[in-house]
Structure 1
């Protein structure tokens, strides 16, 4: 009998849920696939409650279940991963079949000087980020040195030194930290794998060299040139971050567009220049010689041209691991809904009522994610919701973004509308999989896109920036499972009013509402049925990749990347 040696990997995530959630799911899926793997996740304190909540959700019930050979033992406590793991006789311990949670430890990285706030704000989050960057190296050194005590935290995997590390690309300090730590403890470098919560085309667009069409390197050059001339750094970042110039920009595997079309509503999101400063060093991290590979949580089979271009551009192993969900989700086994708060209860009650009133697949879910919102043009939300009302289209609207500010008169108008449900936060996965939901108006972020595909929902797309333009182009123009809302686009300059396909963006209330009405009519008719079927076909491709295609092979290879 072959005995597989225990292995251990460390994950350094970003404290933004849109980044952390897919990385958390990826890590747990690796544990599920590789029974020899053990995992340490280093998280900042602000995100710990949400991580704990996610792990205790019904979707992850399987991580607490021991294998059938141990079915007679009592099921582990859901907080077991927070406790010290006491070993029994070593030979007996090796025979024990562990639950996945027994191979997981979550460590909150915080210094003694950092005072936890009663409420988190942008200021306290910025302080936490700096404290995290200062504290993580100490924990990494302790883990790699096989220490038992990690700054008063027990390392239950002391006897299993880390074999590899996965880090979010926006934690760009990690490669330099690892060089310093490994030199200090006199050990050979372990493989470092960068994680990008995006698809291959957007990753290429971000990280390709400027001469090949990448835009981050152009931003870096322009900012550095301005600063060298004596310009204030914040002014330089404000001008050049995601700036567009009306140039034609081709992205591998996607239709050609003007550069401003890739960030079509960036002008509506008032983000300070400080928000962009941490993004630029990620180019150096991805291209660092000690970073041996890069992970994208999308399926290679649905964007082969972009994957090939990305592999050629970076010269590294690209792990196209596919959207990260538990196996039960792929099998269509959605856990029983359970309201966690008053808003959840309102949403569930509303959807049940709409299913009885209008039937299955009759309601549209409107959500632009937890970060982006057209704060500089709030009337766009009013146009969308009013048009839904005029079209007698029942809807759930969740405005989770901190930038969201809904006019009181609009809220009052919607609160008395029988076919409308407006909440700050909604349990998105439960909503998308409710029988009453038939459509999704989305910003096409990575997580929302993956969930829409799995739920087989046609999409109306309102992308803002980051990778949302690439996801929208892939869904609307390649696979035709989404409709890109064009009149609602808001570019940075008035002269940018023409799309590469010849569409003129008028942007008036009349033009926007006409397009919305036409779109709502289309998706509720024959075209909507065709889009739903195409989405089922797309899901089938992605699922096939997960079960026995490139996604499965890359998940297997990732768990053995240190061999």
Structure 2
């Protein structure tokens, strides 16, 4: 038995934030000596190969391999947030039978898959795993607090808190245990802002989250000191939880401990590293970093208001603007002269940036973010205060925890992104509340560093995860 090596298949939901976390976990499992298969969609794997050196990142581990599978969508499909359910429906219709056939064929191979880690919104994988007799763990790439709010949706519906009436968005929600004193209607995930409960996206998240209890355990990219009270609530329903975050930092810690420096980007966009040289030219804590992630979109009018606010704040700014992030572009070429001039003096625009490195740069003082979980936990680890402008899904609740629980940022949820509001909040985070926010941020960052160090909670939970995968792959009976 000692010579048997687990072969773990990882199945991420095909979106940047999910892939990032899953690839970091894949590399950690390689470091444990496991054989690992990373099952990516054809579309996203093509982008990985085009924009990264992902193959060389995993070259030290001959037991690692990429495999690809169709997501069922045509090549030109945008795969954007506003067409989320089209992707979901295609995955369930087209990917599920392909995944089943792949596993059945693989069982006849010498190095057969012995374990599956599937994204928590790919729960069809649990059906297939049960059918072919392979143990499975669920990996939710969102925060514990947002997962718990999803899990409580049935109770909210039963006690009449969903759907909520039009109007008072500041009414407190009482049906999410542990959040009764601060969770407002506006802080619930965006898909709960509905007048009926039979909306497909709501039903999908509701069902997928409840199905988490069917797997052998739940992996979360968080750490105990950040979300301990909410983790206690989740454990009453999902007792076997592995908190192994921040994963990007735990991976770096493990690589360092193993004298291995093989780590690189897993971005689906080409990173522009010239922004790092620009940051090198700036004084410490003088720049606000702006990025709305890999999925969120803004209208052209919103983009211009943010731009005016940043320029009017008189602060230096590094802004990531994806080519596909602006909807309703209209007159693309007509940028007001004052914005062009202000950007020449104090700004730097890129289509994509190496975010972890940017947040760690001494020049960065604050982060204007969409509050996606990867961005949030990366900012937490770097000790960088946030201004939160959540876009959809879990981001609404993440931003509430940033402002009201962890107190390491400001929440502009549901505020107009007018130039006046943007300027005011940028000045507030970099001047008015600077020391207060920095104190909170530094304290939480220290907890994060301890969690991923030798003997820390995330370090130990990863060790437990590795041993559990080993024992479930090769049960004694």
TM-score tier after normalising by the smaller chain length: 0.7 to 0.9
Instruction: Kindly state the Cα deviation for residue 561 of structure 1 after the two structures are TM-superposed.
Output: 2.0
Tell me the residue number matched to 2:68.
108
CA-to-partner distance for each residue in 1:145-187, whole Å, 9 max, x for gaps?
232xxxxxxxxxx24x43321111111211222233x2xxxxx
Instruction: Kindly state the Cα deviation for residue 414 of structure 1 after the two structures are TM-superposed.
Output: 3.4
Question: Take 2:248 and 2:304, find their aligned partners in 1: how far apart are those partners?
Answer: 34
Instruction: Kindly state the Cα deviation for residue 19 of structure 1 after the two structures are TM-superposed.
Output: 1.1
Question: Take 1:345 and 1:560, find their aligned partners in 2: how far apart are those partners?
Answer: 38
Tell me the residue number matched to 1:259.
185
Q: Is residue 108 of structure 2 the alignment partner of residue 146 of structure 1?
A: yes
Cα distance change, pair 242–257 in 1 and its aligned pair in 2 (3 A):
same
Question: Take 1:25 and 1:415, find their aligned partners in 2: how far apart are those partners?
Answer: 38
Instruction: Kindly state the Cα deviation for residue 14 of structure 1 after the two structures are TM-superposed.
Output: 0.8
Higher gyration radius (CA): 1
Tell me the residue number matched to 2:442.
536
Instruction: Kindly state the Cα deviation for residue 460 of structure 1 after the two structures are TM-superposed.
Output: 0.8
Instruction: Kindly state the Cα deviation for residue 346 of structure 1 after the two structures are TM-superposed.
Output: 5.1
Describe the SS at the equivalent of 2:105.
Answer: helix
Instruction: Kindly state the Cα deviation for residue 534 of structure 1 after the two structures are TM-superposed.
Output: 2.6
Aligned pairs for 1:438-517 (under 5 A) are 438-485=365-412, 489=414, 507=416, 509=418, 513=420, 515-517=421-423
Task: Select 2:246's aligned residue among 323, 326, 337.
Answer: 323
Partners of 1:445 and 1:468 within 8 A in 2:
yes
Tell me the residue number matched to 1:307.
231
Q: What 5-or-longer segments of structure 1 have no aligned partner? A: 65-77, 79-98, 148-157, 183-188, 223-239, 268-272, 491-506
Question: Take 2:78 and 2:268, find their aligned partners in 1: how far apart are those partners?
Answer: 23
Tell me the residue number matched to 1:11.
10
For these two proteins, the number of residue pairs brought into alignment is 444
Aligned pairs for 1:322-471 (under 5 A) are 322-325=245-248, 329-330=252-253, 344=272, 347-353=275-281, 355=282, 359-375=283-299, 378-400=300-322, 402-405=324-327, 408=332, 409-410=334-335, 414-416=339-341, 417-418=343-344, 419-471=346-398
Question: Take 1:543 and 1:435, find their aligned partners in 2: how far apart are those partners?
Answer: 17
Aligned pairs for 1:96-245 (under 5 A) are 99=60, 101-110=61-70, 117=75, 119-122=76-79, 129=91, 130-143=93-106, 145-147=107-109, 158-159=110-111, 161-180=112-131, 182=132, 189-208=133-152, 210-211=154-155, 213=156
Partners of 1:44 and 1:128 within 8 A in 2:
no
Partners of 2:219 and 2:244 within 8 A in 1:
yes
Tell me the residue number matched to 2:459.
552
Cα distance change, pair 277–516 in 1 and its aligned pair in 2 (3 A):
same
Describe the SS at the equivalent of 2:410.
Answer: strand
Tell me the residue number matched to 1:186.
none
Describe the SS at the equivalent of 1:392.
Answer: coil
Instruction: Kindly state the Cα deviation for residue 326 of structure 1 after the two structures are TM-superposed.
Output: 5.5
Cα distance change, pair 326–242 in 1 and its aligned pair in 2 (3 A):
farther
Tell me the residue number matched to 1:81.
none
Instruction: Kindly state the Cα deviation for residue 320 of structure 1 after the two structures are TM-superposed.
Output: 1.2
Question: Take 2:289 and 2:398, find their aligned partners in 1: how far apart are those partners?
Answer: 18
TM-score of the two chains, using structure 1 as the length reference: 0.69
Instruction: Kindly state the Cα deviation for residue 115 of structure 1 after the two structures are TM-superposed.
Output: 9.5
Describe the SS at the equivalent of 1:193.
Answer: strand
Q: Is residue 29 of structure 2 the alignment partner of residue 30 of structure 1?
A: yes
Cα distance change, pair 413–482 in 1 and its aligned pair in 2 (3 A):
same
Q: What 5-or-longer segments of structure 2 have no aligned partner? A: 194-198, 472-477
Cα distance change, pair 8–204 in 1 and its aligned pair in 2 (3 A):
same
Determine which structure has greater relative contact order: mean sequence separation of CA pairs < 8 Å that are 6+ residues apart, divided by chain length.
2
Describe the SS at the equivalent of 1:15.
Answer: coil
Instruction: Kindly state the Cα deviation for residue 440 of structure 1 after the two structures are TM-superposed.
Output: 0.6
Tell me the residue number matched to 1:297.
221
Partners of 2:409 and 2:429 within 8 A in 1:
no
